[in-house]
Structure 1
Amino acid sequence: MKKQSGGRALSRILWELSQDAQRERIAISDLLVALGDRATGALMFLFAFPNVLPTPPGTSSILGAPLIFLSAQLMLNQAPWLPAFVANRSMARADFSLLVKRIVPWLQRAESLLRPRLSSLALPPMEYFVGFVSLLLSVLLVLPIPLGNVLPALAISLMALGVLERDGVWVLAGLAMTVVAGSVVYGVLFAMLKAGLYFFTQIL
């Protein structure tokens, strides 16, 4: 299993935390502690990627809120921090374990491909721009836009892993996906607006 730069692989950290029988629940604050100085990029991935997978309706609005905080902190070069009402949220370890089992196979595939290259694209000041773009995408995630969560979440996931591993190629892939996501969301919003205007004119 590939190691993250500066420490253990993110997939291994998540797996070990999910298997810790001494914990009945896993809080977001536990993840902050376990991930240390890599928490910003790692948590951005963890909150974004579940939106790429099939999830119950409303999941994106729940996971999008922490993403807004984390993206803003990346943009402003601040240490990872979440307000208490977010950091204290927790889930049963069994539920966390099920989530990790869904994420880890995808994450391990990504870790086998990630490596430091074109690192200037994953370091400041480019890192701050990634935070700004991720912030805009996070806002899209919390909005109730049909089909408006998968592509923004994928873009954030790619950029977060790129920043985490100093892999500029993945950052570029995330930025490219951002353009695609923006085009799709714009198209959906335009179609909704057009349908709304048509409906409004029909009832007049």
Structure 2
Amino acid sequence: MDRLSVELHYYFFGEERPTQVTLADVLKIGKERIFGLIFALLGLILVLPFAVPGRGIFVGFIILVGSVQLAVGAKSPWMPKTLINKPIALKTVQGVMKSGILWLRRIEMFSRPRLLYIFSSFMGRLVAGIALALVAIFLMIGLPGLHTLAGVGLLMTGLGLLVDDGAIFLTGVAVCIFADLIGVSSAIALLIEGSSVLGCPST
């Protein structure tokens, strides 16, 4: 299997495509490593600085579905057909990929097959699944400041799965856990602030 950056560049820029594509079309690139491709693509969407209404909910839902299946040891993910078959304008996706492929190439420079036991073991996949699921929940409820950090974690986790690199996978999971800690802190702060506002007597 070629590097993901090469596969994506060829798919979106090297071949003639219809004016619209679907997530199902793109996932075919991942073949037997669809989990890795899903997380890597979602990470790219979060990392890149463009505003899309409802991005956190959309991305968070897919992460949540995928992470639960990763945690229980599923070999390939199940996704709602209405979601993966939803058409997306090719020009929109190409705009994302143009910058995203540059990110991928930088990470791929350091990747190689190693530490395979980290993501092949049940415990490794369980910890990763829980960390990703929490990221998904925080994205869906709209906690601020998590998109870029969560995106980097997802991108590295997915790329680690794609290229059998346990070191990159572990680094990605660690970044996701760090994002989870920020999410928990933000949620606690919001709850405390909300409680103090509700507890203030009116003047």
The interval holding the TM-score normalised by the smaller chain is 0.7 to 0.9
Of 161, 167, 180, the residue aligned with 1:169 is: 167
Structure 1: gaps of 5 or more residues: 1-6
Secondary structure of 1:182's counterpart equals helix
Q: 5 Å matches for 1:75-86?
A: 75-78=71-74, 79-86=76-83
Of 51, 54, 74, the residue aligned with 2:49 is: 54
Q: Amino acid of the residue matched to residue 5 of structure 2?
A: S
Give the percent of matched residue pairs that are identical in Structure 1 and Structure 2. Answer: 24
- Report the Cα distance in structure 2 between the residues aligned to 1:136 and 1:74, rounded to whole angstroms: 13
CA displacement at 1:186 relative to structure 2: 2.0
Change (3 A) 1:103 1:199: same
Q: Amino acid of the residue matched to residue 62 of structure 2?
A: P
Q: Amino acid of the residue matched to residue 11 of structure 2?
A: L
Matched, 1:17 2:11: yes
- Report the Cα distance in structure 2 between the residues aligned to 1:94 and 1:53, rounded to whole angstroms: 16
Matched, 1:118 2:115: yes
Q: 1:3 corresponds to which residue? A: none
| TM-score (structure 2 length as normaliser) | 0.87
| TM-score (structure 1 length as normaliser) | 0.87
Asked if the contact 1:137–1:153 (Cα under 8 Å) also holds between the matched residues in 2, the reply is no
Moved over 4 A (4+): none
CA displacement at 1:118 relative to structure 2: 1.7
- Report the Cα distance in structure 2 between the residues aligned to 1:128 and 1:89, rounded to whole angstroms: 30
- Report the Cα distance in structure 2 between the residues aligned to 1:98 and 1:146, rounded to whole angstroms: 25
- Report the Cα distance in structure 2 between the residues aligned to 1:172 and 1:59, rounded to whole angstroms: 26
Secondary structure of 2:88's counterpart equals strand
- Report the Cα distance in structure 2 between the residues aligned to 1:88 and 1:203, rounded to whole angstroms: 52
CA displacement at 1:178 relative to structure 2: 2.9
- Greater CA drift, 82-91 or 173-182: 173-182
Asked if the contact 1:123–1:166 (Cα under 8 Å) also holds between the matched residues in 2, the reply is no
* RMSD between aligned residues: 1.9
CA displacement at 1:76 relative to structure 2: 2.5
Change (3 A) 1:129 1:202: closer
Q: 1:152 corresponds to which residue? A: 150
